[in-house]
Amino acid sequence: MFAFQNPHPNLIAALESGGYRVTAPRRAIANLLEQKQEGFSVEALSDELPSVGRATVYRTIKLFHAAGVVCKLATINGSHMYSLCRNDHHHHHTVCVECGAVEEFRVDAVERLIRQISEDIPGEIVSHHLELYVNCGACPETKGK
Amino acid sequence: MFAFQNPHPNLIAALESGGYRVTAPRRAIANLLEQKQEGFSVEALSDELPSVGRATVYRTIKLFHAAGVVCKLATINGSHMYSLCRNDHHHHHTVCVECGAVEEFRVDAVERLIRQISEDIPGEIVSHHLELYVNCGACPETKGK
DNA sequence: TTAGATGCAAACGGTTTGCAAACCA
DNA sequence: TGGTTTGCAAACCGTTTGCATCTAA
C-alpha cells in the first residue's frame, strides 16, 4: 500500500534528461536533498548551503519540481514545503506535525471517492489536494511525550 | 448532501459573543463579507474597503477566522484565501478555478475513508486537508468557453 | 565559443508590528 | 474614563528579477 523511501530518486538524471546543465551548485543541492527524509522549505535548504546563492536554490527547486522529482505540499499552518518525490504515480502525503517526516501513500480509494463525489456536485473536478497530518509515532519528539 | 449558502452567518454576533467590540470598521467588513459567495484574499477585500486601514482588515479577518466564522482555504497555486463559513460542522470545499466560487460540502465518506487509512499507517492522524478544484459550470468564465 | 547558469542586490507582494490618536463600553 | 481598536508607516518574510559575470558543454 505504501511506497516507502525508494533509495535512489536520481535528481541529477532528471536534470540531464531535461536538457539542463549539471553544475556544481545543482550537484550540491541534489546531494543534500537525497539525504532528506523530511519535508523542507527552500529557505531552510538555502541556510544549509551557504556557498550557494539563495536565488539559485529557489531556481533549482523550481526546476526539480517542474521535472516531477520533488513535490510541493501544504503544511498545517497554510505555508508550503517541498519533499523528495519517491513515487512516479499520483499520490498523497502524510506529514508528521512533530518532526516533519513526510511519507507518500497511494490509496486507490481516495481516487474512487473523488470520482464518486464528482457525480454529486455540479461542474467538473479538475484537481484536488489531500494532505494528512499525523503524529508519526517514531520520531524523538513524539516519543518524548 | 450539500450545505448551500445559509443566508445568515452572523459575524457581528461572533464578535459580541467573543467579547470584542463592535466598531464601525468591523461592521463594514462584516457587511461586505456577508454578501460574498466566493473565496477572497484579504488584500482584495481591503481594496474594496478603502476607508478601512489594511492592517485592520487583516486583524479582523484573523479574528473571524479564530472565531470559526470564516475559513481559510488553499488555492490551486499554493496561496490561500478565505471564505465565509456557513456550516458549523467539519466540512470541505470546492473552489471553482475559473470564477473562484466556493461551495462547502460534507461527505461522511471522506471521514470514513480517513479513518480507514488511519488503520493502515503508523502513527495517528491528527488532522487533514482536502480541497477539490472544479469548473463550476455555472460561471460566465466557464460558459464563455 | 556561447547559451545557459550563477550570485548579488534590489524589488516584490502579502502580511505583521509599533505607536500615537481615536473610539466604544 | 480606560482599555480596545484604529490607521499609518515602517519592518518583515519568503520569493522573484535584472544584470553583469562565470562556466559547462
Write the pLDDT tens digit of every residue in B40-82. 999 999 999 999 999 999 999 999 999 999 999 988 777 889 9
Strands A92-96 and A124-135: parallel
Mean pLDDT across chain B, nearest whole number? 87
Is B4 among the domain residues? no
Q: Which of B113, B120, B127 sits opposite A76 (nearest CB)?
A: B127
Amino acid A9: pLDDT: 60
pTM of the model: 0.86
How many domains does one find in chain B? 1
Q: Which amino acid is at A62?
A: K
Name the nearest CA neighbour of A128 among B35, B127, B116, B130.
Answer: B130
Residue A4 predicted with pLDDT over 50 = no
pLDDT (tens digit, 9 = 90+) per residue, A23-79?
999 999 999 999 898 999 999 999 999 999 999 999 999 999 999 999 999 888 778
Rounded (10°) CA dihedral B17, B20, B22, B26: -110
Is A6 among the domain residues? no
Interface of B with A (CB under 8 A): 1-2, 72, 74, 76, 78, 80, 94, 96-97, 103, 105, 107, 109-110, 113-114, 116-117, 120-138, 142
Q: Which residue has the higher pLDDT, B5 or A77?
A: A77
Give the residue nearest to nucleotide C16 (CA to C1').
Answer: B55
The residue range of the domain holding B77 is: 11-134
Mean pLDDT of A13-30: 96
Is B26 among the domain residues? yes
Is A63 among the domain residues? yes
Residue A29 is part of a domain; what is its CATH number? 1.10.10.10
Amino acid B109: pLDDT: 87
Rounded (10°) CA dihedral A42, A47, A48, A50: 120
Is A143 among the domain residues? no
Amino acid A5: pLDDT: 43
Name the nearest CA neighbour of B11 among B71, B67, B92.
Answer: B67
Is A145 among the domain residues? no
Task: Assign B143 a pLDDT band (cuts: 50, 70, 90).
Answer: low
Distance CA B94, CA B104 (A): 6
* Cβ atoms of residues B3 and B86 within 8 Å: yes
Amino acid B18: pLDDT: 93
Count each helix (H run) and each strand (E run) in chain A, helices first. 6, 5
Residue B28 three-state SS? helix
CA A120 to C1' D11, in angstroms, rounded, equals: 48
Q: Which residues contact A141 (CB under 8 A, 6 or more apart)?
A: A98, A99
Is A140 among the domain residues? no
Distance CA B97, CA B77 (A): 10
Integer CA distances (angstroms), B105 to B102, B132, B143, in order: 10, 10, 23
Interface of A with B (CB under 8 A): 1-2, 72, 74, 76, 78, 80, 94, 96-97, 103, 105, 107, 109-110, 113-114, 116-117, 120-138, 142
Backbone CA torsion sign across B78, A69, A48, B122? positive
Yes or no, beta carbons of A132 and B128 under 8 Å apart: yes
Is B128 among the domain residues? yes
Mean pLDDT of A94-113: 89
Find cell 479513518 and name the residue.
B115
